[in-house]
Amino acid sequence: MNEVVQRQSQLPADHLLRIEHVTKRFLGLTALKNVSFSIKRGQIKALIGPNGAGKTTLLNVISGILTPDEGHLYCKNRDLLTMKPHQIAGLGISRTFQLVRLFTTNNATVLDNLLMGAHLKLKPSVTKSLFLRASIKKQEKNVRETACRTLNFVGLEWAKDYLPSALSFGNKRLLEIARALMADPDLLLLDEPASGLNDAEVEEFRKLLLSIKEKGLTILLVEHNMKLVMDIADEIIVLEFGQKLAEGSCEDICSDRRVIEAYLGSDYSKAGDRNS
């Protein structure tokens, strides 16, 4: 217990998440090896690297879907390794996935999807169900109003009564973001959210992510669209074969010869390469 408290006390006040020496293996294959970094409150941090570099695995570890074989993870001075996925979500960490996952059972609408995103707030006890019905109804009303405001925020207010299947792929991506926001998170984990979007949709998505940042939220973004990453990221982490290859500002990453050779290509090469 003393070790946990001591480690927690090392988290700076302006940092929301800290990853320490995380390693994850699958049947002898090392997906992550000794990965360490932290994320400051209110920043957009991008996680880039080739396919198979371990980016999604890292998001799964942070959200509690996977347990690392080694290392530590802390958010708000809480040890994430002692928590289950729903507890981590309740702490303020919300995420999206590479493949869009929306609720369609029983003809669930766009609005229904957002209400399900607020499920952590809508779990009244038996006592409340019996004796505080008016309070519960008010709570449900407030959540519905929040859902409508969130749809308006992402530009989907017109689709609240639609079935998700009726939406374009780009709008499904927006719906997934909106649902993640309904959990009132402090940290958003976004796994390739611009994948499959056309240039116009990516531009609208860029504006949305910056608007989310303006609300004070922190974002950890896994993304292959380097133009988007370079436009919005405050800092970038590069993974290669499960290890951290580099970390720094966009300018630092673009001028790092190791990153250029491993992932970016010569288009991102700049004068003054710090490793030349």
For the residues of 153-199, what is the DSSP string, one character each?
Answer: HHT-GGGTTS-GGGS-HHHHHHHHHHHHHTT--SEEEEESTTTT--H
Work out the average pLDDT over 248-258.
Answer: 91
Whether the per-residue pLDDT at 91 is higher than 70: the answer is: yes
Of 121-130, 223-232, 239-248, the range with the lowest mean pLDDT is: 121-130
Of 67-71, 133-137, 196-200, the range with the lowest mean pLDDT is: 133-137
Per-residue model confidence (pLDDT) at position 133: 53
CB 235 within 8 A of CB 249: yes
Work out the average pLDDT over 28-51.
Answer: 95
Average pLDDT along the chain: 86
And the tokens for 208? 């949305």
Per-residue model confidence (pLDDT) at position 32: 97
Q: Residue with structure tokens 């950890």?
A: 220
Per-residue model confidence (pLDDT) at position 266: 59
CATH architecture of residue range(s) 1-92+185-276: 3-Layer(aba) Sandwich (3.40)
CATH 3.40.50.300 range(s) for the chain read 1-92+185-276
- 221 SS3 class: strand
Q: Tell me the whole-structure pTM to 2 decimals.
A: 0.85
